[in-house]
Amino acid sequence: MPSVPELQMLPLLDDTPLALPRDPSLVVVSISGGKDSTAALIAALETFGPGAVVAHHQIILEDWLQTPDYCQMVCDYLGVPLYLSQGVYNGFLCLKCGHRHLSMFYEEAYCHKCGSYDKQLLGVIDSIHDLIRWREKWVDARVRACTGHFKIEVFNTWARNNVSLLGRRPVMVLGERHLESRGRMKLPDLRYRDLRKGWMLEWRPILHYRRIDAFRASRQWGIEPHPCYKLQWRGILRRQHLRWLQEGIPPRASYPGQWEGLDQVEELSIQVLDAMIDTQMYEVDCEGGPRCSCRDCFFKEEEEMRATYDTDQGKALIDDGIAIERETGFTMKYGQSLESVVGDKESNL
């Protein structure tokens, strides 16, 4: 007769240290197209092998236009299935109390203030600029409505709709790093995602990476970083060079000898710029620099915003941002309009 197994008390969740499962039902890496999430994808592949890993990208219309194609290219190259989804919200006016509310749904959507289902559709919001127009306010660091509505909620909705694909013990992989920002310094490497309780484990495998480690991970696997890095870095370096020639302000060197003799050169060639950028990406251990995010991300410094404005797709988006500032009377940064940052281009150089 088989022995009856001894009954054990279930451990309290808080007391159980989380561990990365050896055989998760599926590993899904959230990729943005940037170097960090690419490094996280690589780390997931190195840990679990190609068969267990898929990727998910949340399409954002303010991203660099090549981003979805870039994600597809990287995933094809690595043999990883890629899922894409985009946040699309219905904007409603509550016919009972006049409150305006957003929902991914239609019939099920109700007013968050009074609970009424009685509503009128005012419009469809599928971009961050749409959302800013809807809110009549810019998003900011405290109200990260951009990330909330167009990344977190989009991923969560995709996950809820794909429970059978994800299975019982899925792991979500994120490419955040401690050195990126104060807010990320305390992120744990493992925690449960705020979804169904105890279901999806979040794993951040590259928390301890430096910027250089993330770029090197791509290089090691033969992956060229997203073109937005070079595009932005070229613009920033060109501007620093021009300022040097025209105003006599020498550019800050990221490594010894970076600018040696270049005050004698009228215009920096692509070859000279790209050699500098390669050194910065793969050899110089420092944080900051261009990011793969919205073209007009409010985290960008003035000089980065101007360099973005020098590109066609950057100008198109920032011009729309300037239009929003005029429509709403709100400025993107506190007390500083986008127009004043990128406008009057001659005097900025």
Binding stretches for Zn ion (CB under 5 A): 94, 96-97, 99, 111, 113-114, 116
H-run or E-run covering 173:
strand 170-173
Smallest distance, Å, CB 113 to Zn ion? Answer: 5
- Across-strand partners of 119? 94
Largest CA-CA distance found in the chain, in angstroms, rounded: 92
Closer residue to Zn ion (CB): 114 or 270: 114
Question: Closer to Zn ion at the Cβ: 113 or 184?
Answer: 113
Q: Any residues with CB less than 8 A from the CB of 49 and at least 6 apart, and which?
A: none
Instruction: Give the residue with the Cβ less far from Zn ion, 98 or 198.
Output: 98
Cβ–Cβ under 8 Å, residues 46 and 221: no
Least distance CB 89 / Zn ion (angstroms): 17
- Please name the residue that has the structure tokens 């929003």: 324
Residue whose C-alpha is closest to residue 129's, from 61, 221, 189: 61
CB crowding 284-301: b at 16 or more within 10 Å, else e: beeeebbbbbbbbbbebe
Rank residues 99 and 216 by Cβ distance to Zn ion and give the closer one.
99
Burial class (CB in 10 A: 0-12, 13-18, 19+), 347: exposed
Q: Specify whether the CB–CB gap between 89 and 104 falls below 8 A.
A: yes
What per-residue string of b and e applies to 318-327 under the rule 16 or more CB within 10 Å gives b?
Answer: bebbbebbee
CB nearer Zn ion, residue 88 or residue 97: 97
- Burial label, 89 (beta-carbon count in 10 A; 0-12, 13-18, 19+): buried
Closest separation in Å from C-beta 103 to Zn ion = 13
Q: Rank residues 120 and 161 by Cβ distance to Zn ion and give the closer one.
A: 120
Q: How far is the CB of 109 from Zn ion (least distance, A)?
A: 11
> CB 228 → Zn ion: shortest distance, Å?
42
Min separation Cβ 330 and Zn ion, Å: 25
Question: CB-wise, 99 or 135, nearer to Zn ion?
Answer: 99
What is the nearest approach in angstroms of Zn ion to the Cβ of residue 96? 5
